[in-house]
C-alpha cells in the first residue's frame, strides 16, 4: 500500500497491488486488520480522489479497470457484519469520504463506474449511518444530490434499468426532504412520476391503473403481504416530506415546538395552526400543493384505503388542500362544508411525524407506543380517515357539485371492513 503511492510505482505495479488487496479482503481477519490498523478506507479514498480528477477532467479510460477493482474491494469489506458494526461505532467518517467520491463519479454522467455496485455501497453507507447514535456524524445527501441521482438513472428506459430501484432506495434512505416546497415544480413532478413508476413496477401485484371514468378509491384492498411494499415506503417518504416541509416553511416554528404544544392533539388543531401561519406568511403555491396532493392520492389509491399509511396520507392531503380558510368563505354551503370537514379532523390524531421522538426509517413505519387507543376509538379514527379521504378526492377533482353528494358515497366506507370490525367487537362484549 505504501509502495502504491511512491514515485517508483508504475501502472503494472499498482494493478498487481490492487489485485493482492482484492484477494486479501476475502479473508475476514485480514480485511478486519486492514480496515482497523492500516486505514484501508482513507487509502482507497485517496485513490478514488486521484481517479476522479483524471477521469472527470480528461475522460481518460486507463484507470477504468483499477477503479472497478477498488469498488469491488469496498463492496466485499462492508458486506462483513463485524466491519460494518465497527464502522458504525468508530469510523463511519472514513467510509463517508469514500462514498462521497463514488457519488461524484456516479452522477458525472460519463458512465465511468458500475452503477449497481456504486448504489449498493451508497445504500450500505446510509443504512450504517441510520443506526448511529444521534450525536454521531451521519452520512446525508442534500436535496440537489438526490435529484442528481435521479437524473443519472432516469436517462435509461425505466423498464430496462436494473439500477432504478437501487437509486430510488438510496433516495428514500436519505430521509424526507424538508425543502420539498422550495423545489422547482417541473423537476419535482418529473422526479415523483419516475419514483412512482419504479415503486409500482417493483410491486406488480399492487400496481394500480386509473379508470377511464376518473378517480376511484379501492375500499377493500390491503397491502399484499406482511412485508411493506416499496410503494408504501415512497408514500411514507412523500407524506413526511409534506408534513415537515409545510411546517418548516414557517420560520418561527419547529417540529419539536409544535409537538410540545398541548393544543396540537388532533388534525383539526394542526390545520387551524397551519391556516393561521399561512395567513401571516402568504408564500403558498396552489399549483404545487395540488400536484403533490394528486401524487399522494394516487399512491394511496394503489395501496388501498386500509393501508398502514392512511392517517399520514390524509393529514398531508388535508394540509395541502384544506388549510386555506379563504376557500371556504362566502356561501353558506362552503362554510357548512368546512365545518363538517373540521368535525372529521377532530376525530383524527395529529400525524405521527409530529411526535418529537419520530425518526425516519426506510425499513418499517415508526410506531408510537405512548398513546394506545381502544379498539372502538381506533374504529372512530379509521372511519373519520376514510370519510375525509372521500371528501378530499372530491376536492382534488375540483367538482364542487360532488361535495353535496358526499353522503351518497359514505355507505361505501362500510364496505372497507370497518363495519364488520365494529360489529365483531360489540358482539364479543355482549357475549
Q: Where are the domains of the chain?
A: 1-136, 198-431
pLDDT on residue 223: 43
- Quote the pTM value: 0.81
Residue 349, phi then psi, degrees to nearest 5 = -70, 160
What DSSP element (H or E) covers 150? helix 143-154
Residue 214, phi then psi, degrees to nearest 5 = 135, -155
151 vs 175: CA distance, rounded Å: 18
Q: Is 331 left (phi over 0), alpha (psi -120 to 50) or beta?
A: beta
185-194 exposure pattern, b = at least 16 Cβ within 10 A, e = fewer:
eeebbebbeb
Q: Please provide the DSSP assignment of 109-145 as one string.
A: SS--S-HHHHHHHHHHHHHHHHTS-TTS------HHH
pLDDT on residue 324: 66
pLDDT on residue 267: 86
40 vs 46: CA distance, rounded Å: 10
Nearest Cα residue to 231 out of 291, 293, 303: 303
Axis-axis angle for helices 115-130, 92-106 (nearest 10): 150
Alpha helices by DSSP H, 367-418: 375-396, 406-409, 411-413
Per-residue pLDDT of the chain (431 residues; tens, 9 = 90+): 999 988 898 889 999 999 999 999 999 999 999 999 999 999 999 988 887 776 656 555 556 788 889 999 999 999 999 999 999 999 999 999 999 999 988 888 667 778 888 999 999 999 999 888 888 888 988 888 888 888 888 766 544 567 888 999 999 998 898 888 888 888 899 999 999 989 988 865 544 443 333 434 444 344 444 678 889 999 999 999 999 888 876 545 444 454 445 457 888 888 887 776 665 455 456 788 889 999 999 998 888 876 778 889 999 998 888 876 555 554 555 566 777 888 888 888 888 888 888 888 888 888 766 566 677 777 888 888 888 888 888 777 764 433 333 333 444 444 455 445 455 544 554 55
107 vs 422: CA distance, rounded Å: 53
pLDDT on residue 347: 87
Q: Three-class SS string for 272-335? A: HHHHHHHHHCCCCCHHHHHHHHHHHHHHHHHHCCCCCCHHHHHHHHHHHHCCCHHHHCCCHHHH
Count of alpha carbons within 13 angstroms of residue 325, beta-carbon side: 13
Amino acid at each position: 500500500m505504501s509502495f502504491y503511492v511512491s514515485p517508483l510505482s508504475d501502472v503494472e505495479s499498482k494493478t498487481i497491488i490492487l489485485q493482492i488487496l482484492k484477494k486479501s479482503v476475502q479473508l475476514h481477519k485480514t480485511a478486519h486488520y486492514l480496515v482497523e490498523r492500516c486505514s484501508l478506507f482513507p487509502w482507497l479514498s485517496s485513490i478514488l480522489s486521484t481517479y476522479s480528477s483524471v477521469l472527470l477532467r480528461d475522460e481518460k479510460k486507463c484507470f477504468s479497470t483499477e477503479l472497478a477493482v477498488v469498488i469491488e474491494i469496498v463492496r466485499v469489506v462492508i458486506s462483513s457484519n463485524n466491519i460494518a458494526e465497527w464502522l458504525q461505532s468508530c469510523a463511519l467518517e472514513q467510509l463517508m469520504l469514500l462514498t462521497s467520491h463514488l457519488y461524484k463519479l456516479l452522477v458525472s454522467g460519463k458512465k465511468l463506474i458500475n452503477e449497481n455496485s456504486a448504489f449498493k455501497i451508497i445504500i450500505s453507507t446510509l443504512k450504517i449511518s441510520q443506526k448511529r447514535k444521534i450525536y454521531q456524524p451521519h452520512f446525508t445527501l442534500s436535496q440537489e444530490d438526490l435529484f442528481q441521482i435521479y437524473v443519472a438513472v432516469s436517462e435509461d428506459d425505466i423498464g430496462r434499468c436494473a439500477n432504478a430501484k437501487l437509486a430510488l432506495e438510496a433516495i428514500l434512505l436519505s430521509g424526507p426532504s424538508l425543502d420539498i416546497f422550495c423545489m422547482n415544480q417541473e423537476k419535482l413532478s418529473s422526479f415523483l412520476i419516475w419514483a412512482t413508476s419504479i415503486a409500482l413496477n417493483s410491486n406488480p401485484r399492487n400496481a394500480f391503473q386509473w379508470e377511464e371514468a376518473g378517480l376511484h378509491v379501492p375500499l377493500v384492498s390491503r397491502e399484499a403481504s406482511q412485508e411493506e411494499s416499496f410503494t408504501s415506503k415512497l408514500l411514507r417518504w412523500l407524506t413526511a416530506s409534506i408534513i415537515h416541509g409545510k411546517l418548516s416553511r414557517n420560520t418561527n416554528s419547529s417540529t419539536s415546538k409544535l409537538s410540545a404544544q398541548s393544543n396540537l392533539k388532533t388534525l383539526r388543531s394542526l390545520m387551524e395552526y397551519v391556516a393561521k401561519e399561512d395567513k401571516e406568511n402568504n408564500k403558498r403555491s396552489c399549483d404545487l400543493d395540488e400536484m403533490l396532493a394528486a401524487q399522494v392520492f394516487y399512491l394511496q389509491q394503489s395501496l388501498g384505503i386500509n393501508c398502514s399509511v392512511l392517517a399520514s396520507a390524509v393529514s398531508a392531503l388535508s394540509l395541502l388542500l384544506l388549510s386555506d380558510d379563504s376557500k371556504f368563505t362566502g356561501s353558506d354551503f362552503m362554510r357548512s362544508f368546512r365545518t363538517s370537514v373540521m368535525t372529521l379532523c377532530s376525530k383524527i390524531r395529529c400525524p405521527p411525524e409530529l411526535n418529537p421522538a419520530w425518526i425516519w426509517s426506510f425499513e418499517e413505519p415508526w410506531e408510537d407506543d405512548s398513546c394506545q387507543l381502544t379498539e372502538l376509538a381506533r374504529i372512530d379514527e379509521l372511519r373519520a380517515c376514510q370519510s375525509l379521504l372521500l371528501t378530499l378526492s372530491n376536492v382534488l377533482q375540483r367538482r364542487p357539485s360532488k361535495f353535496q353528494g358526499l353522503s351518497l358515497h359514505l355507505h361505501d366506507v362500510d364496505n372497507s371492513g370497518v363495519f364488520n370490525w365494529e360489529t365483531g367487537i360489540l358482539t364479543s362484549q355482549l357475549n
